C-alpha cells in the first residue's frame, strides 16, 4: 500500500524560497509538481494551506490532478489540520514540514517526517532528472579512522543504525 504524504503547503513553498512572488501562481506550480510526483511515485498526497484569516467558515477540500488540497477553515491553522491528519494516519503517512510543533506531533504518532527543504530538493531533483538516480560523489580520501579513539568499535564508515533506517524509509519517496 502506498504511503500517504501530508504536505504543509506554505512551509514547503517557504523552504523552496518561492513565497516572495504571486501566491496563487506559486501554489499552482507546487500543485503541478506534486501531481507529477504523485504520478511517478504513486503516493496519495494531501496538501494543506492556511485559510484561517480570510478563509471560509468550513474546511474546504478539492482535488487537483489527483492531489487532495485542503484549505483550513477560518480560525483554524493549517498546522492543526496537519496534526489531526497525522493522528488519523499514524505510521501510514509521512509529513512534509519544518514546523517543530507539527514535527513533534507527527513523530509522536509514528509518522515519518521529511523536512521542507529536503523534500523540495527531492522534488526538484526527481522532476529535473526524470526519475534518474543522481551520481554519487567520489570519496575525497579523508581518513575517518584518525579522528576515532581506541575505545570505538565497529565500521567507522558505516552510518549509525538510526540514520540507515531513515535513509531506507526515505528511499520510498
Q: Report all structural domains of the chain as residue ranges with CATH numbers, in order of start.
A: 4-131+148-170 (3.40.50)
Separation between Cα atoms, residue 128 and residue 141, nearest integer Å:
30
Q: What is the pLDDT of residues 74-88, one digit of tens each?
A: 888 899 999 999 999
Q: Report the predicted TM-score, pTM, of the whole model to 2 decimal places.
A: 0.75
Number of residues in the chain: 173
With a cut of 90, say whether residue 21 has pLDDT above it. Answer: no
pLDDT of residue 136: 46
Q: Which of 4-18, 96-110, 159-173 has the highest mean pLDDT?
A: 96-110
52: buried, middle or exposed (CB in 10 Å: 19+, 13-18, 0-12)?
Answer: middle
Q: What is the pLDDT of residues 83-123, one digit of tens each?
A: 999 999 988 899 999 999 999 999 999 999 999 998 988 88
Separation between Cα atoms, residue 118 and residue 160, nearest integer Å:
20
Over residues 41-64, mean pLDDT: 82
Over residues 56-72, mean pLDDT: 86
pLDDT of residue 6: 94
With a cut of 60, say whether residue 168 has pLDDT above it. Answer: yes
Q: At residue 58, what are phi and psi to the nearest 5 degrees?
A: -125, 160
Q: Are 94 and 4 in contact (CB under 8 A)?
A: yes
Q: Which residues contact 139 (CB under 8 A, 6 or more apart)?
A: none
Give the cell for residue 45: 498526497
User: Which of 8-12, 112-116, 156-160 bottoms out in mean pLDDT, i.e. has the lowest?
Assistant: 156-160
Q: Are 96 and 3 in contact (CB under 8 A)?
A: no
Separation between Cα atoms, residue 58 and residue 75, nearest integer Å:
10
With a cut of 90, say whether residue 26 has pLDDT above it. Answer: no
Spell 82-106 as b/e; 16+ CB within 10 A means b: bbebbeebeeebbbbbbbeebbebb
> For residue 116, what are the CA distances in angstroms to 52, 70, 99?
21, 18, 9
Over residues 65-70, mean pLDDT: 92
Amino acid at each position: 500500500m502506498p504511503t500517504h504524504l501530508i504536505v504543509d503547503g506554505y512551509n514547503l513553498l517557504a523552504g523552496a524560497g518561492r513565497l516572495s512572488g504571486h501566491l496563487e501562481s506559486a501554489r499552482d506550480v507546487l500543485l503541478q509538481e506534486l501531481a507529477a510526483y504523485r504520478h511517478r511515485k504513486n503516493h496519495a498526497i494531501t496538501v494543506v494551506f492556511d485559510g484561517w484569516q480570510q478563509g471560509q467558515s468550513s474546511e474546504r477540500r478539492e482535488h487537483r490532478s489527483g492531489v487532495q488540497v485542503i484549505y483550513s477553515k477560518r480560525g483554524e491553522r493549517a498546522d492543526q489540520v496537519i496534526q489531526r491528519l497525522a493522528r488519523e494516519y499514524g505510521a501510514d503517512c509521512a509529513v512534509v514540514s519544518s514546523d517543530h510543533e507539527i514535527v513533534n506531533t507527527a513523530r509522536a504518532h509514528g509518522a515519518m517526517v521529511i523536512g521542507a527543504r529536503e523534500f523540495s530538493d527531492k522534488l526538484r531533483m526527481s522532476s529535473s532528472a526524470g526519475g534518474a538516480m543522481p551520481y554519487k560523489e567520489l570519496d575525497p580520501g579523508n581518513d575517518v579512522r584518525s579522528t576515532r579513539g581506541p575505545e570505538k568499535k565497529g565500521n567507522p564508515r558505516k552510518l549509525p543504525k538510526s540514520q540507515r533506517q531513515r535513509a531506507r524509509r526515505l528511499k520510498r519517496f
